[in-house]
Amino acid sequence: MKKITIIFSIICLLLILCGIYFYFENTTLEVSTYQIASNKIPNEFNNYKIIQISDFHNNTSSKLTKKIVEKIKNQKPNIIVITGDLIDSTKTNVDIAIDMIKEIIEIAPIYYVTGNHEARTNEYDNLKSQMIELGVKILENEAQEIQLNNSTINILGINDPSFYKESDILDSKIVKNNMENIQYNEDNFTILLSHRPEVFKIYVEKNIDLVFTGHAHGGQIRLPFIGGIIAPNQGTFPEYTDGIYREKDTTMVVSRGIGNSIIPFRVNNRPELMIVELKSN
């Protein structure tokens, strides 16, 4: 009887420790900072700071959201970019997303593109109209210019391919078509906001200087020396899940994101806020 009691106590202790670990992993923010240097970045944009939020998924942790807002305020970014899945199609609550936007819209201009979850829900039009009213710049297969003094850089944004699923066209082809229809000055340093990291080769082909993406959730469960084990549209042991990827003159930033969706927890993969500083060469 004593042996059974000891075993039961050990199991209970392990369950409690696992619960504490999962709570910590899913509600404790990690801030990642990168510097992106290019001779195309004007001197006026040296030290220009961009904060990226991705895959918020109607996060319901007030602790986590409070920390996100606090970090953004402390960093004093020039702009904030949101790269899709601000809401979640399985537990859509537009008010949660909008409340977070209200907290950060006064800090810096916000640029936003859609993710696959916006395409799956009937609430996107409601979300979009409220964000526009708050002053969020929604980029739907279009380009805008950001000016400082007499210098200019481009910021492009494309809709998620899921918005076009009435056809059988590959996601990569949809992304390529959307990008080809955007008119902008290619001599300027160009930033692209897109939800999808798995079509990195398209961004390289289009000579985009800097791409912000999400979608992969860091591979959801990350193993030491291996990385993420599964990501949407990439399958098992995905190639693009976290951090910086470079090819030719294109740099892609992949955020691990904030929230969860189908898989409700993260392992060795804390929610992430990305900070990118531009450096002129």
Q: Write down all domains in the chain, each with its CATH number in brackets.
A: 2-280 (3.60.21.10)
- 185-221, pLDDT tens digit by residue? 999 999 999 999 999 999 999 999 999 999 999 999 9
Whole-number pLDDT of residue 11: 79
The DSSP-derived string for the chain is: -HHHHHHHHHHHHHHHHHHHHHHHHHHS-EEEEEEEEETTS-GGGTT-EEEEE---TT---HHHHHHHHHHHHHH--SEEEEES-SS-SSS--HHHHHHHHHHHTTTS-EEEE--HHHHH-TTHHHHHHHHHHHT-EE-SSEEEEEEETTEEEEEEE---GGGGTTS---HHHHHHHHHHT----TTS-EEEE-S-STTHHHHHHTT-SEEEE--SGGGSBEETTTEESEETTTEES-S--SEEEEETTEEEEE---S--SSS---BS---EEEEEEEEE-
**Model confidence, pTM:** 0.94
**Which pLDDT belongs to residue 168?**
65
- Give the residue ranges of the chain where pLDDT is below 50: none
